[in-house]
Amino acid sequence: MNDVANDSQPLECRFARMILHVDMDAFYASVEERDQPELAGKPLIVGGSPRQRGVVCAANYAVRRFGVHSAMPTATALRLCPHATIVRPRLDYYATISDQIRQILERYTPQIEPLSLDEAFLDVTGSELLFGKPADIGRRIQNDIRREVRLVASVGVAPNKFLAKIASDLQKPNGFVVVPPHAVQEFLDPLPVGRLWGVGKVTGAALERLGVRTIRDVRLMSPETLQSHFGKSGEHLWQLAHGHDDRQVIPDREAKSISHETTFAMDLDDREALRAWLMELSDQVGRRLRRHGMRGKTVHLKVRYANFQTITRSQSLANPTQSTSEIWQPAAELLDSCLSAATQRIRLLGVGVSGFGGGHQVQQSLFPDAEHAKQSQLDQTADLIREKFGSGALHRGSGLLHGAQHRPQPRPETGSSGPDASQ
């Protein structure tokens, strides 16, 4: 849908809140295709070795046609597509490229909420006087990424996060969909009910039994009827079906918590692979905390099982931290308790930190913890090295458990106006 508000509209309509969702298409695989053009268009798996219980970290669009998805065992993926090429993932290198993309986004607004290495929400409401209408800003960002980073992004432009997220996903790859405020229901009504957040296999099957197949079908139901079938989630479904989502874009500096999560297209139960992904997530959270001089006192773990049951656990620390190791350790303990309590496979894994203190103001101990000081110095040194030489210049050994390759990589060629080179 390319129906965009025009200049003849009243001022209050033209400058209503508009959100962009920028989502890199098959990010890891696209980076590998860019760096190795001979792989472009051929079935490509980014993942670990099938002989070492490796898993698929990413799959390009060519191999997805064979049913291959991320988090699937590599051995299974090769049975589906025996002629696929396997490339070991370079997670720190992808983080370097994610930083390039983040610098492009920051040209247009400081209101950026990153969700992972390859996607972010942007509130561009206050940028219209400088850069034009939200759709124009979205196009400029998409073109800048293509020209300077030589990668493809899909962009959704809409009045809220929920709508923008759906919009960015509809026409991948290289999608660009605008949802004007006056056309929200026209946009939502024909979509399948599975597009609503929170509708997984179980809820979808229950809605199917009620004869509910599209978002319009949900919209025409009363809140009371939905609540009678789905409890508190019924009200949530009714609000989304009407296009309501009041959540704000929250930059890191204003956030009450900072978190990263990843959803596995195929459910995962390998304990070592899960712990390795947990380290990657902890490292991403730690980097963001250190970038903004923030420390948190509570570590959170989020786990979504294969049946879509979602649990969250938290552990408070003795002192606020921004250390990757001090985030990962309690998160790993919480994960172990979740794994020992259930035999279910895991669909989603997330790590977060909250309870922020006063930035650099850290209570000094009469007897300093030598291990804490060592880890803090390690993180600071690692960040400096990554800032100067790129994220690929350093790695944590546990990341190798899921087949990730971390080693210095040459910076990609970018356009002359580009910045110095985020599952």
| Domain boundary assignment for the chain | 1-188, 189-241, 256-402
Q: Provide the 8-state DSSP code for 214.
A: B
Name which of 149, 104, 95 is nearest 288 in CA terms: 95
Please determine, for residue 175, whether its predicted confidence score (pLDDT) is greater than 50. yes
| 3-class secondary structure, 320 | strand
Q: Are strands 296-305 and 346-356 parallel, antiparallel or unpaired?
A: antiparallel
pLDDT of residue 408: 33
Phi and psi angles of residue 348, each rounded to the nearest 5 degrees, phi first: -140, 145
Q: CATH second-level architecture of 1-188?
A: 2-Layer Sandwich (3.30)
Neighbours of 197 (CB within 10 A): 13
User: Which tokens hold the place of 261?
Assistant: 């999560």
pLDDT of residue 382: 54
Any idea which of 75-79, 176-180, 257-261, 400-404 has the lowest mean pLDDT? 400-404
Please name the helix (run of DSSP H) or strand (run of DSSP E) that holds residue 372, with its range, or none.
helix 370-389
Query: Residue 119 and residue 138: Cα distance in Å, rounded?
Result: 14
Question: Residue 263: pLDDT band by 50, 70, 90 thresholds?
Answer: confident
Any idea which of 108-112, 130-134, 233-237 has the lowest mean pLDDT? 233-237
Between 409 and 335, whose confidence is greater? 335
Phi and psi angles of residue 349, each rounded to the nearest 5 degrees, phi first: -135, 135
pLDDT of residue 399: 46
Between 95 and 241, whose confidence is greater? 241
Query: Residue 177 and residue 158: Cα distance in Å, rounded?
Result: 9
Please name the helix (run of DSSP H) or strand (run of DSSP E) that holds residue 155, with its range, or none.
strand 153-158
Q: Based on the residue annotation, tell me whether 119 is a catalytic residue of this protein.
A: yes
Q: Provide the 8-state DSSP code for 367.
A: S
Query: Residue 396 and residue 399: Cα distance in Å, rounded?
Result: 6
Fold for 256-402, please state it.
Answer: Dna Ligase; domain 1 (3.30.1490)
Answer for the pair 356, 294: CB distance below 8 angstroms, yes or no: yes
Query: Residue 355 and residue 376: Cα distance in Å, rounded?
Result: 19
Q: CATH second-level architecture of 189-241?
A: Orthogonal Bundle (1.10)
Q: Amino acid identity, residue 360?
A: H
Please determine, for residue 262, whether its predicted confidence score (pLDDT) is greater than 60. yes
Active-site residue among 119, 261, 280, 326?
119
Answer for the pair 128, 19: CB distance below 8 angstroms, yes or no: no
Query: What is the arithmetic mean of pLDDT over 207-217?
Result: 94
Answer for the pair 120, 22: CB distance below 8 angstroms, yes or no: yes
Query: Residue 93 and residue 390: Cα distance in Å, rounded?
Result: 8
Query: What is the arithmetic mean of pLDDT over 273-293?
Result: 84
Please determine, for residue 225, whether its predicted confidence score (pLDDT) is greater than 90. yes
Any idea which of 14-18, 347-351, 361-365 has the lowest mean pLDDT? 361-365
Query: Residue 184 and residue 241: Cα distance in Å, rounded?
Result: 10
Query: Residue 401 and residue 55: Cα distance in Å, rounded?
Result: 10
pLDDT of residue 158: 97
Answer for the pair 348, 263: CB distance below 8 angstroms, yes or no: yes
Question: Helix H segments across 119-245?
Answer: 128-131, 134-148, 161-170, 184-188, 201-209, 215-219, 223-230, 232-241
Query: What is the arithmetic mean of pLDDT over 75-91?
Result: 92
Phi-psi region of 71 (alpha: psi -120 to 50; beta: other; left: phi over 0): left
Query: What is the arithmetic mean of pLDDT over 329-357?
Result: 84
Query: What is the arithmetic mean of pLDDT over 286-303?
Result: 89
Question: Residue 292: pLDDT band by 50, 70, 90 thresholds?
Answer: confident
- Compute the mean pLDDT over every residue in the chain, rounded to the nearest whole number: 81
pTM (2 d.p.): 0.72
Question: Residue 404: pLDDT band by 50, 70, 90 thresholds?
Answer: very low
